[in-house]
Structure 1
Amino acid sequence: MEIPRSSSMALLLLSIVVLPNFFCVCSAIESPQYSVVHSESDFEIRLYRLTPWMSAPVKDISFEKATKNGFHRLFQYIQGANLNFSRIAMTAPVLTSIVPGAGPLHSSAYFVRFYVPTKFQSTPPTPLPELNLKSYTWDSHYIAVRKFSGFARDTNIVKEAEKLASSLSRSPWANSTSAESSYAYSIAQYNSPFRFIGRVNEVWVDVNASGVDGYKSSAIATY
């Protein structure tokens, strides 16, 4: 069926006006700053600067449920559920750190984190007490990162973490996983749950640069 010329013109105008604005909004989302210090085909080592986060502790047996629970509380916080009634811009990634065996019935504990944007880093608004959120700042440190696509699920995050561990074992960073970190690994998610194509996720593992040629020792983030 042929689309009327008036409808075609309307669609063209919509694409000219809306799509650039959409991409501007996406590219404007703030993320923590880092430098890539080592890169291979399937992973890289990043040096992150000192970064402030707002964290939601969650106890659950499911990564997916824990992430949803924690993010729901963080989303309320950035929408104004804080003592300043401040609305805070969304940032990326949403980071879920996994702490194995820390909860009841041998379940896991999680920390779901929101990166605090520059505007609020000096004095982050205090969250409402019922949200049970904690302000946290990690020191500058090294992180091993592996990217993967699709959705981060209970069924695939362990496999992705194992692939990163395998890659590290064959690199100069073998045996560099930090014993000081209080969590096994983290999953960084960069996209809205309503995006189905071109999704970007990452596995993060804290690493210690001491003993690796060409790198200085770095403080590792701990809770």
Structure 2
Amino acid sequence: MKKIIGSLIISGCVLVGCQSPEDLEENWTEYIQEGSENLESYSSDTDIRVSVSLGPDNVVEEDELKIVISIVGDLDKGYSVEENVAGLSQEVFFEGNDFYLKENENWTHYPDAGPIEYAPWYPNVVESLIEIEDLMEASHSGDVLVLSYEGNDREVWEAFEEEFSLSISGVSEENITMTLEATMDDSTYYLQDLSLNIVGEESDGDMEIGRVTIIVEAQYTDHDTVDLTDVEEEIANDVE
């Protein structure tokens, strides 16, 4: 259910949803969880980039995955477009148990192929942040709460490992550093964006012999305003 906003105004602030910066910073897990529970629909644009190099300049492997998805309800309905570094894309729509895949510019219906599972689903990402609350620093800036972390705590890796399919091999755990930043709207308590930068380095003395870099950037938009009418009409024209 949407949060009911009271009409009573005190000192220029709406009574419901007007918290002090100190309260937001100290109790951000409660507010971001409230936002997650109230959220009825959203869109996200997630970019995951991986690079592996030997030596300081020799990049031997790069990969990238872009996922743009709009979701309604508890994965009740959704539309997504995925594209990899080779430019290959996959366009999907789902509603309940019905799954639709765009093939050769036309939609194909796969009944009883749903419901889908989507690891980086908004509530999962929020729960991952809450899992590491003791390691996060919270600060209020403008109209957002900024959550940040820098270090190499295993708990941070484990919190997001499944959500973003994180994987590093050939690098000692103590040589992996992570930087994480997320922002939450201070009135709706909706997550706006998240960035996670992971660097693993192996060296021999002063010489770097290998580096793995994983960068995750996610933006969350269209909170409670997702409209999938256009794609539904397109599917209706293709599928009898």
**TM-score, normalised by the number of residues in structure 1:** 0.27
Larger fraction in strand: 2
Which structure has the bigger radius of gyration?
2
**TM-score, normalised by the number of residues in structure 2:** 0.25
Larger fraction in helix: 1
